[in-house]
Chain A
Amino acid sequence: MEDKTALRARDFWTSLILIATSAFFLWQTTDIPLFDTQTGGVTSGDWYNSAAVVPYGIFGLMLLCALGLLAISIKDGGAERALRGAGIGWERAELIRMGCIAIILFFYIFALVPRVDFTICSALLISALIYGFHGGHHRRMIVAASVFSAAGLYAFLLHFPQSEWAKPHDDDWVTLALWVGLTIYTLVYHRDEYAIRIAPIMAVLVPLVLVLAMAFGFRQNVPNRSGLLFKQIEYHYYVTLKPLWAQK
């Protein structure tokens, strides 16, 4: 029963967000012509041909559903609980766990993958996630998130513009140093854990094999081709290795 009320408290806030979102997008939909539609430069006044018809329906229905959800949450005591300050039923431990993962994933995708060599940043990701979350210890989660954030913030703040994503490699070196530091620390203090012992091997092999397979096997684009390691690999693939079998 307590869980249900906590869920309804979350529903209360969600319904308010949905109402605001629906209202915002209904307002945005007014920018799409409804009665003065143009097709190939020819104006027509047919509402049913407008690109706004379906969006009006969708956001209108979403608004109705959100109002329904709000009514249910109020009726079931969710609003009272949400406003009373008793919280929405999330435990502190879960918030720390979820927050740390969200921070790591955010910096990985938004800061490191575009700017740092894929093998290096993925190695740090694998090591940080295994060390931080394997045992479920909060201190480890925070350490892992802090190390990852340090690498992410460095790349994000010092090389924010897209023009700087490829050129300088200082962020690659910083990420590499942090990975080496984290790996040594975990091996020194937690060597007795199997997961910690295999983490460095997985951290290097998985992204390296994937990048090589994608770039030279599947012939696909890979993130940050000018990264510290990949640039060298690509250079030696075309300059050193390929001539060897091309001469045959």
Chain B
Amino acid sequence: MEFFIHQITEFGTALTNLALDPITYPYLICSVFLGIVFGALPGLTATLAVTILTGFFGNKFPLEQSLIALIGAYVGAIYGGSYPSILLNIPGTAASAATAMDGNPLAKKGRGGEALGMTTTASFIGTLIGTLFLLVFVWLLLMISKNIASPEKALLALFGILLSGTLMSKDLVLKGWISGLIGLAMAMVGLDPILSETRYVFGWSYLMSGFQVVPVLMGAFAVPQIMDGMRAAGSIGQKVDVGRIVPKVGTVMKRFPTIARSGVIGTGVGALPGVGEDVAGWVSYGVGKAVCKDGKDFGTGSVNGLLSAEAANNAAIGGALIPLLVLGIPGSPPAAALLGALKINNVIPGPTIDPGLIVHVVAILVMASLTMAIMGLLTARVFINVLRIPQTIFLPVVMVLTTIGSFSVGGGINDLYLMLAVGFVAYAMNKMDYPIAPLVIGVILGPLFDETFRRSLYLSDGDLSTFWTRPGAAILLSLNIALVLSQMPFIKRAFSRLVPGRG
């Protein structure tokens, strides 16, 4: 209890400092607005919003201020994706795909305003639930993580890549793993972290420092979006009147159990390394369908269905920041972009992270979600009008933004070459149903895996049993093996025989 009170006190101080600093508001309002616009425009994603802002703010402003911009855009974009999902049945971001299932039928019934209002409220409460868990669990995990040594870190990094590859695959799970391996392979380029041995530089001095995170992020997430989105696309066309948006307090209270349950599920899924807000939305939607009284109405315009998805995807933000801050392992693709911003500011997340920074992040999340809620409830019509902008007009601007953002991070013209090369490869991979998130997570976690894996072997004189004799390492190794085995066809067949009706 004493610990909890201490946490709340620290958080209160950080929140007060943030709220009293006038510089907070221009950053917060602009970034949340930009985030909602990015989320609302189909073809632009939350990851892209955070990635582009990383290029602009990453190492040019004090980290505390950059984080306001990046987290504001992250929160805004995850929420903003609900607009086209509800009004156009086109998910603005992958995270809001489950939102469309019930949001659009509600809009077709003339209850679009109610859907948007409830979505805004659920997103706000969901973000706060995720933030509360972040505030409490990040410290507990930080205490535990002080006992985590190289073998556990290596296995956890591997688990993050494997899990991301497994859950993000739309086609064969093998493709997700290959994507993660390509990312890991890219991370091997340059001087190795222990002996400074050169690897795969092919005489090009630029590659000595390895692939930079920001151009890889821009290439992987921005270029394929631009290439894929430049087609004659549908927009809302004419003005849409959605009616009253601000929800009634009684309605919110009635739906609170659904919002709270979804918030907790979203936080839990978000905290899994490499698993994003989209998975959180779908898992919570599935659970809601199973436990809600009106579960059978899900997909036909159920408010509970809508809230199950929306509260969870925003709560996943707080969850995704837990492994990021505690272990340096991003919980979602936008969190990977956030990690890129921390890295170019020489902040190494993990057990040695500045505790003040964590409390600052939590305070920003609360302020950002409040800004999002106010904007969503009072200026929703502005964002509805944004939907009328065709992406063929917006995406060329994004390309120019991406180029200058990537150039200015530090590597100059070579970073642009890298960005485009990664972009072309990522586009081809997208076309063949390879998920891109595991590749990026592989690039980010590759150096950590390489260093900790070899250090473990070095400290044990090459004895591989170091990966199963330590209790933590043994659990993580078991999880890795179980994850791989669970995807093997013969294991799947065996399980389907055990489940009645599926044999």
Interface residue ranges, A against B (CB under 8 Å): 7, 10-11, 14, 18, 25, 28-29, 32-33, 37-39, 46-51, 53-55, 58-59, 61-62, 65-66, 68-69, 72, 97-98, 101-102, 105-106, 108-110, 113-114, 118, 122, 125-126, 129-130, 133-136, 195, 198-199, 202, 206-207, 210-211, 214, 218-223
Contacts and interface: CB of A to CB of B under 8 A. Distances in A.
A99 to B, nearest CB: 11
Given A48-B461, A69-B172, 8 more contacts: A14-B432, A48-B458, A53-B457, A55-B188, A58-B188, A59-B185, A113-B407, A129-B392
Interface stretch (B6-14, B190-198, B293-301): B190-198
Nearest to A93: B231
Nearest to B181: A62
A62 B185 contact: yes
B396 to A, nearest CB: 4
B195 A130 contact: no
A53 B195 CA distance: 12
B392 A25 contact: no
A110 B424 CA distance: 13
28 contacts: A7-B171, A11-B432, A33-B197, A49-B194, A49-B454, A51-B192, A51-B197, A53-B457, A54-B449, A55-B188, A62-B178, A69-B175, A97-B231, A101-B226, A101-B230, A105-B226, A105-B420, A106-B420, A108-B403, A110-B417, A113-B416, A126-B400, A129-B392, A195-B392, A199-B393, A202-B397, A210-B400, A222-B404
A206 B400 contact: yes
A125 B400 contact: yes
A105 B399 contact: yes
Nearest to B410: A221
B433 A7 contact: yes
Contacts of A113: 403, 407, 413, 416
A225 to B, nearest CB: 11
B199 interface: yes
A97 B404 CA distance: 25
B336 to A, nearest CB: 19
User: Which secondary structure dominates chain B's binding surface?
Assistant: helix
Given A32-B197, A101-B227, A133-B230, A210 B401 contact: yes
Contact of B399 (A10, A39, A61, A125): A125
Contacts of A223: 403-404, 407, 413, 416
A51 B194 contact: yes
A34 to B, nearest CB: 11
What's the interface size class on B, roughly?
35 or more
Contacts of B397: 126, 202, 206
A51 B174 CA distance: 26
B232 interface: yes
A46 B423 CA distance: 38
Contacts of B185: 25, 55, 58-59, 62
A135 B232 contact: yes
B32 to A, nearest CB: 20
Contacts of B395: 129
Interface string B177-216: 1100110110010001011010110000000000000000
Contacts of A218: 56, 60, 408
A106 B420 CA distance: 8
B413 A25 contact: no
Given A59-B185, A109-B419, A198-B393, A222 B194 contact: no
B420 A130 contact: no
Interface string B223-240: 100110011100000000
B74 interface: no
B390 interface: yes
Contacts of B416: 109, 113, 223
Contacts of A222: 404, 407-408
A247 B188 CA distance: 54
B257 interface: no
Contacts of A210: 400-401, 404
B471 interface: no
A3 to B, nearest CB: 10
Which 4 A-B pairs have CB atoms at the shortest separation, nearest pair first?
A: A136-B232, A48-B457, A51-B197, A51-B192
Contacts of A65: 174, 177-178, 181
Contacts of A49: 194-195, 454, 457-458
A63 B226 CA distance: 31
B453 interface: yes
Nearest to B419: A109
B192 to A, nearest CB: 4
A134 B194 contact: no
A222 B420 CA distance: 18
A214 B408 contact: yes
Nearest to B406: A109
A98 B226 CA distance: 11
Given A25-B200, A51-B197, A58-B188, A221 B412 contact: yes
A7 B429 CA distance: 12
Contacts of B199: 29, 32, 51, 55
B355 interface: no
A202 B175 contact: no
B457 A134 contact: no
Contacts of A135: 232
A55 B424 CA distance: 24
A195 B393 contact: yes
A54 B453 contact: yes
B462 interface: yes
A51 B195 contact: yes
Contacts of B404: 118, 207, 210-211, 214, 222-223
Contacts of B433: 7
Contacts of A50: 195
Nearest to B393: A195
Nearest to A218: B60
Nearest to B399: A125
A53 B457 CA distance: 10
Contacts of B230: 97, 101, 129, 133
A228 B403 CA distance: 19
A208 to B, nearest CB: 10
A166 to B, nearest CB: 12
Given A49-B454, A51-B192, A214-B404, A69 B178 contact: yes
A32 B200 CA distance: 9
Contact of A129 (B56, B396, B457): B396
Nearest to B404: A210
A47 B462 CA distance: 8
A72 B172 contact: yes
